[in-house]
Amino acid sequence: MIKLELIGRSSSHFTRVPRIFAHELGLELEVEPVGDLVSVDRDRFAGNPALKIPTLRRGGSLVFGAENICRTLVESSSAKLRVVWPEELRSDVSRNAQELVWHAMAAQVQLVVGTVVGKLPADNLYFTKGRAGFEGALQWLDEHLDEALAALPTQRDLSLFETTLYCLFDHLSFRPTVPTAPYARIAEFARLFGARSSALATQFRFDPPGVTRPASTQQPS
């Protein structure tokens, strides 16, 4: 089996998405932490030209981005899981829901990197609009969550929408950015999803400097 290395951070919601997939699929995925997110050195990001995480290294090949990595992991596994991908979503609500989850995940990174890491003023128009859009996306998701979930195929083991939504919302507790109290429906969904063994095995944490460790040691059954 080709060694699978995930270049990312255990504190990143984008990184956690493929980590959950790997655990569900029974794949061993080794995490190589990126220590300096604001670096402009491409080598710090395993050669990713966008200077973003995560990246999957398998043999001499690189795969960029959480969704691409999840697809690659499914293709690499012998596990026969029923995974629901965005192209299977048929209703406008379910498609909008996935789009808004990706938007909210990116918006949180924008706010954290800009105002916390970069120490830029939070009242700058760029960040105030970003925050408003972030909260607007969460409000819409909370209001339409039941319909979006009902639109998913009943027979499924995993879906990209549910996994990304969980990682987004759980990250708001780990890295507080906007209040979570207004979003009771998402909170209940996250509580239930968070009981999965894959969620428990991939909880957010800050990587110690210079440490590489397995994200999942579960083997295919």
Give 3-state DSSP helix, strand, coil % of the chain, rounded to 5: 50, 10, 40
Residue 221 lies in a domain: no
Q: Which residues lie across from 13 on neighbouring strands?
A: none
Contact 10, 60 (CB under 8 A): no
Same domain for 88 and 52, yes or no, is: no
pTM: 0.93
Q: What is the pLDDT of residues 106-159, one digit of tens each?
A: 999 999 999 999 999 999 999 999 999 999 999 999 999 999 999 999 999 999
pLDDT in tens, 65-118: 999 999 999 999 999 999 999 999 999 999 999 999 999 999 999 999 999 999
Q: Please, which pLDDT band fits residue 211 given cuts at 50, 70 and 90?
A: low
Do residue 109 and residue 140 come from a single domain? yes
Confidence of residue 209 (pLDDT cuts 50, 70, 90): confident
Residues 87 and 192 reside in one and the same domain? yes
Tell me the percentage of the chain whose pLDDT exceeds 90.
Answer: 89
Question: pLDDT by residue (tens digit) across 17-63?
Answer: 999 999 999 999 999 999 888 889 999 999 999 999 999 999 889 99
Distance CA 178, CA 128 (A): 12
Domain count, the chain: 2
d(CA 38, CA 20) in angstroms, rounded, equals 25
Give the H/E segment covering residue 18: helix 13-25
Question: Can you give the CATH number for the domain in which 168 is found?
Answer: 1.20.1050.10
**C-alpha closest to that of 96 among 170, 148, 56, 31:** 148
Both 126 and 180 in a single domain? yes
Identify the domain containing residue 72 by its residue range: 4-81+199-216
109 and 187 inside one domain: yes
pLDDT for the residue numbered 212: 46
